[in-house]
Amino acid sequence: MDFYTDKNFWKEGLEPVAEIAINKAEQELSVTLPKSYLDLLREHNGGELEYPYFFIKDEKERTAMHSMNGIDPEGFSVLSSPSVINKLGLPDNLILLNGDYHSWIALDYRNNDIPSVAYFYEDYSEEEMQWGSIEIAPSFDIFLSKLFRGSTLDRKKLKPSYGRSKPNM
């Protein structure tokens, strides 16, 4: 595994965000966005990630966030968070970084002015669907340090496939 180390975060991305857009977004969302998130948006205002994988808690299976939302007053972005939250019944005080309407990765401002990063998922364990959540990291900076690319398999421990033969040449 190759963990993110403050270089080459974006695989592809949009033009850098303008400072005026950052100020308007923080005012509109009534939050102070994490400095490290804003620094990334100053490179590319959202886009595809070079380091898309992370683990939730002690899971051995990786989870992915292949892209991350930026600040765009015209399209879907973190500015869409209040309307999506209202429509889907997600908890208030979240800034949605990525999602597919069934699960979301969000900056979670519910308990603090410094947000944690949390994974929200549809939980059908009760009669009515509820939103479950799991904290991925206590801060955006720690979340960044958990991002990686590459395989989680140790190639040295893999067994050769059974029954495969080499092609005749």
Domain ranges of the chain: 2-152
Assigned CATH topology for domain 2-152: SMI1/KNR4-like (3.40.1580)
The predicted pLDDT at position 155 comes to: 54
Contact yes or no for 96/86 (Cβ under 8 A): no
Q: Label residue 168 by pLDDT band (50, 70, 90).
A: low
Q: Label residue 59 by pLDDT band (50, 70, 90).
A: confident
For range 84-91, the mean pLDDT: 97
**pLDDT at residue 164 is higher than 60:** no
Give percent of the chain above pLDDT 90: 78
Which pTM value belongs to this model?
Answer: 0.86
Average pLDDT of every residue of the chain: 90
pLDDT digits (tens, 9 = 90+) for 93-106: 999 999 999 999 99
Quick one: tokens of 128? 């009515």
**Residue 10: count of CB within 10 angstroms of its CB:** 17
The predicted pLDDT at position 159 comes to: 57
φ and ψ at residue 45, rounded to 5 degrees: -85, 65
In the chain, where do the E strands start and end? 2-3, 10-13, 47-49, 53-54, 63-64, 67-68, 94-99, 103-108, 116-123, 130-137, 148-149
pLDDT digits (tens, 9 = 90+) for 110-162: 998 999 999 999 999 989 999 999 999 999 999 999 999 986 555 555 555 54
